[in-house]
A and B are shown apart, each in its own frame.
Chain A
Amino acid sequence: MMFRTSLLTLAAIAAAGTTLAQDLPAPVQARQGQFQIMALNIGVVANMARGNTEYDAASAQAAADNLVAISMLDQSFHWPEGTDNMALEGTRALPAIWENLPDVVEKWGAFGAAAQGLAAVAGGGLEGMQAALGPVGGSCGACHDAYRAPE
């Protein structure tokens, strides 16, 4: 069994390795880059919330404002049909996205609302920022729960 598991894992790694990022369609690269920017900004706030870095009002505010700005990007061009993980290697976007577009849009909207909640308090002190980060994380998780496959 262990042997079989490791073969599977190797196969998975090999398969993933064959699709280099530059082979992916531009919209997929763009949306993945968008999520990377989100993660980077979340990291600024979450590191403070976790106590890994000292709270800094200006940085917290800037990161929260960036999240709000990204939430306002129109998503129309990032999600063309045929870019789900059944059709392409190198994406984790589930086909369910295209079957439930109104719900996906709602979940993106929920992220935007949570980001605004964070931006409203991020510069005003550690505790308020910590409390407002929870709903942002919840909004990421709710969409990943439904629409992103594990690696």
Chain B
Amino acid sequence: MRPVLIALPVLALAFLAGGLALTRPVTVPDTALAGLTGDAIAGEAVFWAAGCASCHAAEGATGAARLVLAGGQRFASEFGTFIAPNISMHPEQGIGAWSFADFVTAVQEGTSPEGRHYYPAFPYGAYRLAARQDLADLWAFWQTLPSADTPSAPHEIGFPFSIRRAVGAWNLLNLHDDFVVTGELTEAETRGRYLAEALAHCAECHTPRDALGGLDRRAWMAGAPNPSGSGTIPALTPDRLTWSEAEIAAYLNDGFTPDFDSAGGHMVSVIRNIAMLGDEDRLAIAAYLKALPPAGD
């Protein structure tokens, strides 16, 4: 779906310069999660807002098939092809045997239970902004999901991109603990910012990337080349996307633009997720888009 454009030579240098210590994978200890209890019903909303199914369910899946997180979708990039792993509840092929801390460590730090870096094709850079309570709810929902026994396929990436260590240097440069849009926000805009920046990772597609493949926070949601080939992913800033808030919210629900064209590309899957949320959440996302700084010219 979305290649991570890492310029390797620069990355290799950063890796050497950064040194091993600085780029060591981070884990979240059990103690940091003490006292959290999850609610599976609330977790379902987190699941749809965060769009896990868009990558981990089968390509083009609809309905109940979107809950079968057997993996297998291929994400071509210039470094090779990443293949979404099985993250179903299967104890061996999936993550059914994981602890809650393993789950949070993966989703928010991009670190595996064995202490290795994940590739940022997995948008942990957005999810690290998610509230821990939401993750507890998500994990409770996870326990209700079906198990699939398809083994995860290895990524098809060659040396030197196959060195997971190098991702530590990328993380140093690209992981942030603050929201991009700041300043006075209404309650709806604040909710929309949380949904868009922390869960739905809209920027992963709608923001251009720098030479290292990191999101360009100064051109936030200003539109980007389409990584899977031709065309551009449209800008969502208020100077470019002139639809009304009601029109944006309706598009995120029924998939029709104000001219009643129907959304295409990867946005179709995003809409399948966001349509599962309530109207207030879709309006909150629309309000947040209207609060974005203009892309300018």
Interface residues of A (CB under 8 A from B): 1-2, 4-6, 8-9, 12, 35, 39-40, 42-43, 46, 49-50, 85-86, 92, 94, 133-134, 137-138, 140-142, 144-146, 148-151
Contacts and interface: CB of A to CB of B under 8 A. Distances in A.
Interface in B252-292: 254-256, 259-269, 271
> What class of interface size applies to chain B in its complex with A?
35 or more
Given A5-B219, A42-B260, A137-B255, 12 more contacts: A2-B218, A35-B261, A39-B259, A43-B259, A46-B256, A46-B260, A141-B263, A142-B62, A145-B264, A148-B265, A150-B231, A151-B234
Interface of B: 60, 62, 208, 210, 216, 218-219, 222-226, 229-234, 250, 254-256, 259-269, 271, 295-297
Contacts of A138: 62, 255
A137 B255 CA distance: 7
B261 A141 contact: no
A6 B222 CA distance: 9
A68 B96 CA distance: 46
The CB with the most chain A CB atoms within 10 A, among B222, B260, B262, is that of: B262
A137 B272 CA distance: 11
The CB with the most chain A CB atoms within 10 A, among B222, B231, B295, is that of: B231
B264 A148 contact: yes
Nearest to B224: A5
Given A1-B208, A2-B222, A145-B60, A42 B256 contact: yes
A50 B233 contact: no
B60 A142 contact: yes
A92 B295 contact: no
A83 to B, nearest CB: 14
B265 A144 contact: yes
Contacts of A1: 208, 210, 216, 218-219
Given A2-B218, A50-B254, A8 B225 contact: yes
Nearest to B226: A150
Given A43-B260, A50-B250, A50-B254, A149 B265 contact: yes
Contact of A142 (B260, B267, B268, B297): B268
A94 B225 CA distance: 16
Contacts of B226: 149-150
Given A86-B230, A145-B265, A150-B234, A2 B295 contact: yes
A53 to B, nearest CB: 12
28 contacts: A1-B208, A1-B216, A1-B219, A2-B219, A2-B222, A2-B295, A2-B296, A8-B232, A9-B232, A39-B261, A39-B262, A40-B260, A43-B260, A46-B254, A85-B231, A94-B229, A94-B230, A134-B254, A137-B255, A138-B62, A140-B255, A141-B255, A141-B263, A146-B60, A148-B264, A149-B265, A150-B232, A151-B231
